Structure 1
Amino acid sequence: MTSDPVPWEWEFDWHLTNRCNFFCEYCHPQIRYVLNKKHLDEPDPELVVQRFDELNRTCLVHMSGGEPFLFPGFVDLCAGLTRRNWISINTNLASPELVARFASEVDPLRVAKIVAALHVPERERLGLPMAEYAESFRILRGAGFDVVALYVLFPPLLPRLREDLTTLAALGVDPLRAKVFKGVHEGRRYPESYTDAERALILENSGEYAFNRPYLDGMLAFRGQPCTAGMTSFKVTVTGEVRRCASVPTSYGNLYDGTFQPAAEPQPCPAKRVLVLSQCMAYLVEPPQPVSATATAPRP
C-alpha cells in the first residue's frame, strides 16, 4: 500500500462475505451472478480473531466482499483484529448506522485505509441520496480515518464523470480517485477498449490513483517474475481457503480451520493476466515503477 516501511509482516486480501446491498452492473460476474446467490454461514468474529492471533505475525487484513459492513458482527470483528493487527476496508458506505458505530469503536490508528467505493447508478436505482454517502464519508474523516472515495470508470459513466465529480466535491467528498473498469462491456474487454478520448478523460481525472496509466498501457501480466504472494501476502476466499492471490488459485490450506501454511520462498508468477495490479506492484520481488497517471507518455 505504500513504499515506506510498514509495521506489518503479512498481508491478507480477504473476501469475507457474499452479502451485498448493491447489485452493480459492472460487478465481477463471479461475484454478481454466482457468489451472491448464496450466503454462506460466516465464521464468528471471535474465531477469525483467534486464527489471526495464532499466526504469531503482525498482519494487514484487507476486507472486501460483497459489502464488509454486512458481515455479521463486523464492528466487533474490526475491534478484535485491530488489537494486534491493522485492517483496511473496501465499502460502499451504504450502512450509515454501522459506519457511525465503527467510527466510534475502532481505533483509526490501526486502520490503514478505507476505500469508499462510489456506485452512483446503483445509489440512484435504490433511491439512496449521495448526501448520505457524503455524511458517512465526513464522519469517518472527522474521526481520524484515512478514507478515500473511489469512482469506478465504467464506460457508460464517462459522459457524466465531470458532473459527478463536481457534485461530490460540493458535498465535501475529498480525496477522490477514479479507477479504470476491468471487465467486459457490450462485448468489448476493458481497459484495452477505452478510446483515446476516454483515456485522456480518465488520466485527467484519476486523482492520486497511480495505476490507471499502467492498466491503460497494457501492464497486465508478470508471468515468470518472482513474487512474494503465497509467502507474505495471501488471498482468503469466502470459505476461508487461503490462496496465493486473486489471479492464482494455488491453495495454502484454510484460515478458518487452522490448516493454513504459507510458502517458504518467492515463486514465479504463473498468471497470464493479473486482476489486481496494485497488489502485483507491492508483491513482486522487483516491481516496475508505475508512471504518474497524469504524466505524458506515448501510447503503445
Structure 2
Amino acid sequence: MDYDIEADWQLLNTCNYRCDYCFFPGEVLGEKTVLYGTPDEWADAFSATGLTWQLHLTGGEPSAYPDFVDLCAALTRRHVISLNSNLTQTSLADFARRIDPARVSVINAGLHPDERARRRGLEVFNRNLALLHDAGFPIFVSVVATPDVLAAADDIARLPSVPGLVPVPKLLRGSYRGQHYPEAYDEAEREAFRVMSRKARSAYGAWRAARSEPPTIDPFADDDFLAGTPPFRGKTCAAGSRFVRIEPQGDVFRCGSDTAQQGNILTGTFAPHARPSPCNSGYCFYFCRKYTGAEYTSRQVATGVLAGPSLVPPHFVKRLGGALQRVLRR
C-alpha cells in the first residue's frame, strides 16, 4: 500500500478491558470518550495535508469509538488504516460489511486471555475474528506473553477458533507484578516464548511473505529481544517526517509526549519535519525499530522536500506558504 506518512493515532482512552499489564491506569481507561470532530471533518483534515496517510487506530479500544465505522469509511476513501482491537465491540460487524479490506493494512487482534476469561469474552472474540477473516481482512492474533501465558502456551494456542490464526507472542514490557520485563523472564519462559514465536512465524509464513512490508505493530520477531529491547535514543529516526503520533484531540507529536508538538490535524497546523533526525525520546518499541531502518532514514533533502516519492508535496508547501517553508528548512 502506498502512503506518505504513518500515524499512531490514539482515538480515545476508553477501554472495556482492564488488563493488568496495560500501560494506562483504570481511571484513564474509564474516561468518557470526547468527539473532537465528525468523521468527515477528520477525513477532510487529513486530506488537506496533501499527504496519503497510513493511520494506525488504537486506544483504549478503537472500535468502541462512537462513530467508529463512519470514521473508518470516511478515512479509507483516500487513506489506509490499520487497527489494534480486542474484538469485543458490536461495531465490528458493520465494519466488516462496509469497509473495503483493500484499504486496511492489518488488524492486530489482541487475545488478552485472563480478561477474556473474566468477562466470558472468548465467544465474541472468535465470532468477530471469523467474520473479519472471512471478509478478507488481513488479520493476525497476538497475545502479551505474561509468565502465565507462557506456562499455558499450548492451551492459549487453542483459544482462537479460526484455523491458522495462532497467537503471536508479544514481549511483556515494563513493570509487571513487581518485576521489569522483558529482563525478568527466566530461561524456561524465554524458551517457551521462542517456541511460540517459531510456531507463529510458521503459521503466518505465506501471509507475511505476500505483504509488501511488515504489519504496523510487528511482534513476529520479538524473540530476538528477550534479553531487553535496544536503546534508540541518538539513532537517526524518521519519526516526525515519515511517522508521527496523534492524540485524541488531533495534536501531533514526533513520537513521545516529551517531543515538540508539530501542530494539530483538525486545525490545519500540522507540519512534518523535512528530514530524519536523531531520536530524542522513547516511544513504542515497534515504531522505533521500524523508523530507524535504512529504508526510512536514507532519503536526501532537496529544496525543502524529500527526494524520491515526495513526503511533502510541492502544492502543499505552496498552499501553506512561507511559515511552513521556514519550518521545513530547520
Band the TM-score falls in, shorter-chain normalisation: 0.7 to 0.9
C-alpha contact (below 8 Å) 1:203/1:213 kept by paired residues: yes
Q: Which has the larger radius of gyration?
A: 2
Which residue of 282, 285, 289 maps to 1:281?
A: 289
CA distance in 1, matches of 2:287, 2:257: 10
Which residue of 93, 98, 107 maps to 2:87?
A: 93
Please, which runs of 5 or more residues in structure 2 have no aligned partner?
202-218, 296-330
Note closer, same or farther for the CA distance 1:171–1:227 as it changes in structure 2 (3 Å cut). Answer: closer
Q: Is the aligned partner of 1:67 residue 2:75?
A: no
Which residue of 115, 122, 128 maps to 1:122?
A: 115
Q: Is the aligned partner of 1:108 residue 2:101?
A: yes
Question: Could you tell me how far 1:249 is from its partner in structure 2?
Answer: 3.0
C-alpha contact (below 8 Å) 1:137/1:173 kept by paired residues: no
Aligned residue pairs total 275
C-alpha contact (below 8 Å) 1:148/1:176 kept by paired residues: yes
Paired-residue identity, %: 33
CA distance in 1, matches of 2:79, 2:8: 14
Which residue of 182, 185, 204 maps to 2:176?
A: 185
Match of 2:224 in 1: 214
C-alpha contact (below 8 Å) 1:131/1:171 kept by paired residues: no
Q: Is the aligned partner of 1:252 residue 2:244?
A: no
CA distance in 1, matches of 2:49, 2:136: 29
Runs (4+) of structure 1 exceeding 6 A deviation are none
C-alpha contact (below 8 Å) 2:151/2:192 kept by paired residues: no
Match of 2:149 in 1: 157
Q: Is the aligned partner of 1:195 residue 2:209?
A: no
Note closer, same or farther for the CA distance 1:171–1:226 as it changes in structure 2 (3 Å cut). Answer: closer
Match of 2:35 in 1: 42
Which residue of 9, 14, 21 maps to 1:14?
A: 9
SS in 2 for 1:14: strand
Worse-superposed segment, 140-149 or 34-43: 34-43
C-alpha contact (below 8 Å) 1:61/1:86 kept by paired residues: yes
Q: Is the aligned partner of 1:265 residue 2:265?
A: no
TM score, norm. by length of structure 1? 0.86
Note closer, same or farther for the CA distance 1:234–1:162 as it changes in structure 2 (3 Å cut). Answer: same
CA distance in 2, matches of 1:147, 1:246: 27
Match of 2:246 in 1: 236
Please, which runs of 5 or more residues in structure 1 have no aligned partner?
1-5, 288-300
SS in 1 for 2:248: coil
Match of 2:195 in 1: 204
Q: Is the aligned partner of 1:53 residue 2:53?
A: no
Note closer, same or farther for the CA distance 1:235–1:26 as it changes in structure 2 (3 Å cut). Answer: same
Question: Could you tell me how far 1:100 is from its partner in structure 2?
Answer: 1.1
C-alpha contact (below 8 Å) 1:243/1:250 kept by paired residues: yes
CA distance in 2, matches of 1:221, 1:281: 10
C-alpha contact (below 8 Å) 1:21/1:67 kept by paired residues: yes
Q: Deviations over 1:131-167 (max 9, x none)?
A: 3211211111111100111111122332222212123
